[in-house]
Amino acid sequence: MEKHLEAYFPPGTDEGRLLLRVDFDRLPRHIAVIMDGNGRWAAGRGLPRVEGHRAGVESVHEIVEASARLGLGCLTLFAFSSENWKRPRYEVGRLWRLLREKLIKDDGLLVKNDLRLRVIGRREGIPGPALRELERVEALTRENQRMTVVFALNYGGRDEIVDAARRIVAEKRIPAAKLDEKAFAAHLTTAGLPDPDLLIRTGGEMRVSNFLLWQIAYAEIVVTPVLWPDFRRRHLLEAILEYQGRERRFGDVRPPAKPSRGRT
Ligand code: IPE
Ligand code: IPE
Ligand code: MG
């Protein structure tokens, strides 16, 4: 086992033991995560909801770093949905401030690990100071190669599909009969990224909540009751192992001859 992995998943620990079972030839290329349960985590401790969001930032750091070390190509994190504006103003304000100050301004995690930041979601709705930071870090990390970290911010799957349709109509380049899945997907904000092979939802809810509706067509779904602030690298390994135990048939009667890593 490679040294950089041993240091992060030490032998003899839970994560070290789980790591031994991972098949590195069949890693998901892209994992998408619905980071849910921050409010419940805080309520369980008698704390205000925003403390759950603060604690959730630690999980983001750990999971980004663990994913990069494992060798994933892409990690997408659902951080703020197009519906989350319905929350109390105070919570919304604190969420954006946390995102700006702890995740984006602190670009060391991305720079140190050679990670590229990409943002999906309607940019025009993102508060100015956060958007400026996001675009600065996107530009700063544009050439980074190791893994792409996608933040879904002010993101809704239906918005994204509508926006793609609008662009296609406005461009007037593709005649209706020529519009196929590939051409459509090229107009989504995830253009160029592989579809997620694995969708993880923390916090136990059995729903998609308007996340990546197009892209998860054939994703394997793992829902864990673990609340996002409690989600640690060992839970990530457990989800990957569950994914590797699944049989992906893509509509056929048996899996594709060569183990598929999902469609791009
Ligand atoms: C997820 O945690 C974080 C965001 C939606 C930003 P929640 O805040 O939804 O936590 P619960 O679901 O209320 O516990
Ligand atoms: C989904 O969680 C959105 C994010 C994790 C950013 P929500 O807490 O908003 O979803 P619902 O309301 O339970 O469906
Ligand atoms: Mg929630």
pLDDT at position 139: 95
Question: Can you tell me the mean pLDDT for 238-261?
Answer: 90
CA of 152 to the centre of ligand 3 (A): 15
Question: Can you tell me the mean pLDDT for 208-217?
Answer: 98
Look up residue 223 and give its DSSP letter: E
Tell me the average pLDDT of the chain: 94
Confidence grade of residue 262 (pLDDT, cut at 50, 70, 90): low
Please give the number of the atom of ligand 1 that sits closest to the Cα of 205: 12
**Distance, C-alpha 116 to centroid of its chain:** 13
pLDDT at position 104: 76
Pairing of strands 115-120, 74-81: unpaired
CA 141/CA 135 separation, integer angstroms: 10
- Nearest residue (by CA) to ligand 1, atom 12, is 37
* Beta strands, E only, 5-132: 30-34, 74-81, 115-120
Question: Can you tell me the mean pLDDT for 195-204?
Answer: 98
Select from 130, 80, 60 the least CA-distant residue to 100.
Answer: 130
CA 64/CA 103 separation, integer angstroms: 11
Question: Can you tell me the mean pLDDT for 148-159?
Answer: 98
Question: Can you tell me the mean pLDDT for 211-239?
Answer: 98
- Nearest residue (by CA) to ligand 2, atom 8, is 36
pLDDT at position 259: 58
Select from 67, 49, 37, 72 the least CA-distant residue to 209.
Answer: 37
pLDDT at position 2: 61
Question: Can you tell me the mean pLDDT for 142-150?
Answer: 97
CA 42/CA 50 separation, integer angstroms: 8
Tens-digit pLDDT profile for residues 69-122: 999 999 999 999 999 999 999 999 999 999 998 777 778 889 999 999 999 999
Asked which of 16-30, 170-184, 245-259 is least confident by mean pLDDT, the reply is: 245-259
Confidence check: pLDDT of 27 > 60: yes
CA 217/CA 189 separation, integer angstroms: 16
Confidence check: pLDDT of 198 > 90: yes
pLDDT at position 257: 86
pLDDT at position 260: 53
CA 55/CA 225 separation, integer angstroms: 17
CA 117/CA 106 separation, integer angstroms: 12
Look up residue 29 and give its DSSP letter: S
Confidence grade of residue 261 (pLDDT, cut at 50, 70, 90): low
Question: What number of other Cβ atoms are within 10 A of residue 161's Cβ?
Answer: 15
Q: Which of 33, 34, 36, 155 to mutate to test the pocket of ligand 1 (most atoms within 8 A of CB)?
A: 36
Domains annotated for the chain, with CATH where assigned, are 27-243 (3.40.1180.10)
pLDDT at position 222: 99
CA of 36 to the centre of ligand 2 (A): 6
